[in-house]
Amino acid sequence: MSVLVVGSYNQDHVWRIDRFPQPGETRRGLGFSTGPGGKGFNQAVASARQQAQTAFIGALGEDALARTARELAAAEGLDARWQVCSDTTTGSCGIVVDAQGQNQIVLDLAANERLSPEFVTAQQDLFAGARVVLVQMETGLSSVRAALAAAPAGCLRMLNPAPVHADADAALIAGVDLVTPNETEFADLLARCAGIDVGADSVAALGDAELHALCRRLGGASVIVTLGARGCFVSHADAARWHDGEAHYRLPSERVQVRDTTGAGDAFNGALAARLARFPQRSLRDALIQAGRAAALSTERAGAAVAMPTLAEVQARFG
């Protein structure tokens, strides 16, 4: 097993609409779909579809959605370990997507918040075989910290701080090798961990040297700030560790026909983890290019986990 993802499963309910309604306004939907989601599950599917042997640890209620989750995990070839929480429901998510592919999301984490550190650390066989452990913040932080602490020596610890948790702190960031915030999450982490106030909408326009200096204020982890259509910015404390020749650099995004941005960040993180696990001697830049291509291709499709592209699809599109 190469990639171990610890995180959330949600059943996504998606409505398509021409534009987002104003407060108190009712608008006619243009279509509806439902399918698997949750940042953790999305990223696990993205990793598996990039041909990395992938395992997943998560929590479910004892309901029909839980049965669906088990079937979907099996269909994707995931070694999934589920903590069953009989006193709550499986996580669910309502997503509205407008004509430009932007989204608004309402999330009930439900069982995801019950994922216990004891259940996580009990899956020692999965941790023992992992090259990359990937976590997010749609579960309680105790389970996130437990997963990072359980990662064996030499394993890459990767944190996608989404959505930023109220209790996220500098100690959490210090416990990872790679952190992948978007602009909003990056601004939030700077405020929480370094006491620095930066507007999220100004992050992409900052000069490279200034942005690198801000990234370094988060500690020793390498930082990848994802910038949507503007690509991503990379900042290293030690570029040589990642086989990169530069301490900081930007990579552009791929040009695609955007239909739905839901899950694009998860496609990026899952594909990045897969590439790092499969080719540990290649540069981070190489892995980021592949991850960016997977993320871009995912935006041409509706949905979350179902929109994650396969390695063959990425290669057919981008070479």
Rounded Cα–Cα distance for residues 157 and 227 (Å): 22
Residue 227 has pLDDT above 80, yes or no: yes
* Residue 251 φ/ψ, nearest 5 degrees: -125, 135
CA 37 remoteness from chain centre? 11
The band of 187, judged by pLDDT with boundaries at 50, 70 and 90, is very high
**Cβ partners under 8 Å of residue 258, min gap 6:** 100, 101, 299, 300
Q: Determine what percent of the chain is predicted with pLDDT higher than 90.
A: 88
pLDDT the model gives residue 164: 86
286 noted as active-site residue = no
Catalytic residue, from 12, 188, 260, 266: name it. Answer: 266
pLDDT at 107: 85
Three-state SS letters, the chain:
CCEEEECCCEEEEEEECCCCCCCCCCCCCCEEEEEEECHHHHHHHHHHHCCCCEEEEEEECCCHHHHHHHHHHHHCCCEEEEEECCCCCCEEEEEEECCCCCEEEEEECHHHHHCCHHHHHCCHHHHHCCCEEEECCCCCHHHHHHHHHHCCCCCEEEECCCCCCCCCCHHHHHCCCEECCEHHHHHHHHHHHHCCCCCHHHCCCCCHHHHHHHHHCCCCCEEEEECHHHCEEEECCCHHHHCCCCCEEEECCCCCCCCCCCCHHHHHHHHHHHHHHHCCCCCHHHHHHHHHHHHHHHCCCCCCHHHCCCHHHHHHHHC
- The pLDDT-based confidence of 12 (bands split at 50, 70, 90) is confident
Query: What pLDDT shows up at residue 304?
Result: 85
What's the rounded mean pLDDT across residues 131-147?
Answer: 97
Domain ranges of the chain: 3-9+39-86+113-318
pLDDT of residue 1 exceeding 80:
no
pTM: 0.93
82-101 average pLDDT score: 93
Domain 3-9+39-86+113-318 falls in which CATH fold?
Answer: UDP-N-acetylmuramoyl-L-alanine:D-glutamate ligase (3.40.1190)
| Model confidence at 303: pLDDT above 90 | no
pLDDT-based confidence at residue 165 (cuts at 50, 70, 90): confident
Residues 11, 13: Cα–Cα separation, whole Å: 7
